[in-house]
Amino acid sequence: MNQQPRIPRTLLPRMVAGSVTLLALASSPACNQTAMVGDTDPVITSGGAGSTQPAATGGATGGAGAGTGTAVGTGGSTVVTTQVTTGGATTCGPITTAPGVVNPCGHTFAVAYSPDGQLLATGGDDAQPSASVWRLSDGALLWNPSDSNPETTYAVAFSPDGQLLATAGTIPGSSENVAFVRLWQVSTGTLVRTLAANTGWYADALAFSHDGTLLATGGYEGDVEIWRIADGARVRGMPVPSTAHNVHFSPDDSLLIAGIYDGQARLWNVQTGALVATLAITNEMADADFSPDGGQIASTGDGNVLKIWDAASGKLLQSLSGHSVYVSHVVWVDRDRLLSDDWSGVVNLWTRGGAGTFSLSAVWSTGSQALGLAVSPDKSRFVTGGGAAGRDGFVFLLLAASPRAAEVAAGWCQSCVLMTDATVRCWNKGSKPNPAGVSGAVHVAADYVDSCAQLADGTLRCWGSNNYGQLGDGSTNTRDVPWVVLGGKAVKQVSLGEYHSCVLLLDGTVSCYGYNSSGQLGNGTTMDSLAPVVVSGLANVSQISAGAMQNCALLTDGTVQCWGMNWTGGFGNGALPGAVAGLAHVVKVVVGANVACALLDDATVSCWGDNTYGSLGDGTTTGRPTPAAVPDLSGVVDLAAGEYHMCAVLADTTAKCWGYNNVGQLGDGSQIDRSKPVVVSGLSNVKQLSLGVTHSCAVLTDGSLLCWGNECTYGVGAASDRLTPTPVTF
């Protein structure tokens, strides 16, 4: 019934240029015409815990494809290894997107998809036209964005609207090379302008801001620079001590990160150019990028190590070892999947598990130095550029046959799932998930009769019943399609309660709107409101949870304040917030109907409020106004609340639930209320849980979705209660 806090995100593709230290130029076939290799899609898949399954074999007609894979069980996950073999076309173009088939187009330092996924831009050495734009539907070469001089293109990037292409590289000179940065019109291949970038001998880093107004550049011993797209003016430059290998804007365009050859990643404020932070990557081939929701940064690390950082604090969260040589690039597929490649041509896929940490889930061996890496906008495949004898060029490989579940939100008689392609699908009694008409989403929320999706820019799209104005559009009109609410204002988090909604704003305050019979809007009155009203006296809030008739807010100091209906005690001062006595060191709070639980920083849980159905998990049915620990429950990494039942995700990726169980919402195979936590039957590899009024849903680490409980919530094509987790098909 609640949504996690957010930081803005984008789903536009990104590319990373190769390094000049890899420029061992070799002769390459010229770009001549040849028959296009057929496009077949063997799917690389991963099995469940303790299982193994073979990778797909075979390739496209006319040449070798992805070789036989080996699935290696790794104690809870399955790693699928696939070998790329040379073969197929012997000349460059038309290209093939058949997985595992090399397009022999010379050293390919840069690859980038257009935002609509219809085009691919590549950059390479002067043995061929140094940059090319290809149409992926038939592999045709559209045009070459390069001048008549021999040159090398190290970076290519499409603007967010797909209308412009930026290229960067070097032109050999009589005494020293000269860097170039150019902007091209994609539709015509016309040169728009050349930027006078201060990047020394070569430029090898490019990134458009997500709003399309700025371009960042970097290169050899020059400044990292920001340019205005409209007129080509230089906005500012940030001096760096060595080569900038990559640049990336944060999803909200407030920060710029660059990986520098001195082994550091630097973050600057885009508006002022001030240095915000430095990350000790300790890898000369420095690469670093923000996660799609902006909450984390992935970077190369000490040699063969990949590092995950908290973007807000700069704290190192995890080091990943899965490469045998230097890691070259890191690319976020979506917020729960990462690709990394290395100098030997190995590409690793990392998947986030239920504890929030990443583990290795798939491996490809491309047989070449990894010089460029980009993921398709639909997240179904990626392309990697290379440079090695017999393997010069670029190759496409499959990630998944179709989008997977990324996050689920369970409501009353409806549920919604955020897919890995940033679309949203919803369902109710007896139906399967159907598109909700939302794209570019980063979070979903659902409750009694309403649903919302949060987009990358922090704005909301909401739909459903609106009889008390709980959608936030200033009316009481029912919205059958996603609707822009709150006047398009960006928020950190939205949480939906019973006929009311609350939002956590960017400044750490909270506003609520809709039904207010018990003071759940928190403004000291019981008057309904179509417009958001500020919750009195709340500041420095990090997370919120809206329940049935009461709400709670977690503050940055680890304490909790609540407001609204308070007949059990422990929920504030009625229509005004009040601190929950004796509660500290909280990392998450969740609210149901007159009951709430808090996850503490020692991985235990404390609950308070109504206990008619055993919702406090203490082995009794006696309510209490102050929090008490749930006995024999430890190692908790996440927590979710339904109306009168609670569930916890444990560090071992299993789940336990307690409370009301009239229709099997606890998932233990019974319909008996449980006053102590019970194991959800057959459930493991849990990444995220969401509880509705009388049903529960879980997203697993492999992107599958399971639900159980009330008949109206399954999306399994049958209207009947389910007492244990049941797969939802898309």
| pLDDT tens-digit readout, 18-61 | 222 222 222 222 333 222 222 222 222 222 222 222 222 222 22
| pLDDT score for 322 | 84
Give 444-463 pLDDT, tens digit per residue: 999 888 999 999 889 999 99
Write down the pLDDT at residue 164: 96
The 3-class secondary structure across 533-602, one letter per residue, is EECCCCCCEEEEEECCCEEEEEECCCCEEEEECCCCCCCCECCECEECCCCCCEEEEEECCCEEEEEECC
In 3-state terms, what secondary structure has residue 711?
A: helix
**In the structure encoding, which two tokens stand for residue 430, read together?**
């007896």
Q: Is 204 left (phi over 0), alpha (psi -120 to 50) or beta?
A: alpha
Give the pLDDT band (50/70/90) at residue 713: low
Give the mean pLDDT of 251-266: 88
Q: Is 486 exposed, middle or buried (0-12, 13-18, 19+ CB in 10 A)?
A: buried
Residue 538 confidence (pLDDT): 96
Please indicate whether residue 713 or residue 258 has the higher confidence score (pLDDT): 258
3-state secondary structure of 35: coil
pLDDT category at 561 given cuts 50, 70, 90 is very high
Give the whole-angstrom CA distance, residue 510 versus residue 559: 15
Q: Which amino acid is at 96?
A: T
The mean per-residue pLDDT over the stretch 223-237 comes to 93
Q: Exposed (0-12), middle (13-18) or buried (19+): which is 97, by Cβ within 10 Å?
A: buried
pLDDT the model gives residue 484:
95
Mean pLDDT of 361-389: 83
Q: How many angstroms separate the Cα of 299 from the Cα of each of 12, 305, 371?
A: 19, 9, 16
Residue, of 303 and 606, whose pLDDT is higher: 606
Distance (Å, rounded) from C-alpha 687 to C-alpha 193?
47
In this structure, what DSSP letter does residue 43 have? P
Tokens of 627: 């929090």
Summarize the confidence of residues 197-211 as an average pLDDT.
82
Give the pLDDT confidence score for residue 615 in this predicted structure.
97
Q: How far apart are alpha carbons 243 and 286 in whole angstroms?
A: 10
Q: Give the mean model confidence (pLDDT) for residues 80-98.
A: 67
Residue 174 has a pLDDT of 56
- Whole-number Å distance between alpha carbons of 524 and 539: 16
For residue 524, pLDDT beyond 90: yes
The more confidently predicted of residues 14 and 504 is 504
Higher pLDDT, residue 655 or 107: 655
**pLDDT, tens only, 647-701:** 999 999 999 999 999 999 999 999 999 999 999 999 998 999 999 999 999 999 8
Secondary structure element (H or E) that encloses residue 607, with its range: strand 605-609
Residue whose tokens read 């928190």: 522
Neighbouring-strand partners of residue 551: 546, 563
Q: How many other C-beta atoms can be found within 10 angstroms of the C-beta atom of residue 151?
A: 23
Q: Which residues contact 614 (CB under 8 A, 6 or more apart)?
A: 620, 621, 658, 659, 660, 673, 674, 675, 676
- The pLDDT assigned to 16 comes to 26
Confidence of residue 124 (pLDDT cuts 50, 70, 90): confident
- Token output for 566: 């308070």
> What percent of the chain shows pLDDT beyond 70?
82
Assess contact for 547 and 593: CB atoms under 8 A: yes
pLDDT of residue 146: 65
Q: Is the pTM of this model over 0.75?
A: no
The more confidently predicted of residues 355 and 169 is 169
State percent of the chain over pLDDT 90.
Answer: 53
Give CA–CA dist 533/608, Å, rounded. Answer: 27
Query: Looking at this protein, which amino acid is placed at residue 422?
Result: A
Round the average pLDDT of the chain to a whole number and report it.
82
Alpha carbon dihedral 320, 323, 329, 332, in 10-degree steps, equals -50
In 222-304, which ranges are E strands? 224-228, 234-238, 244-249, 255-260, 264-269, 275-280, 288-290, 296-300
Q: Please state the φ and ψ torsions of residue 711, each to the nearest 5 degrees.
A: -65, -25
Look at residue 20 in the predicted model and tell me its pLDDT.
22
Provide CB contacts within 8 A for 679, sequence distance 6+: 654, 655, 656, 668
Rounded to 10 degrees, the C-alpha dihedral 86/87/89/95 comes to -50
Rg (CA), the chain: 26
Listed range (41-55, 230-244, 488-502) with the worst mean pLDDT: 41-55
Nearest Cα neighbor of 383 from 391, 392, 393, 373 is 373
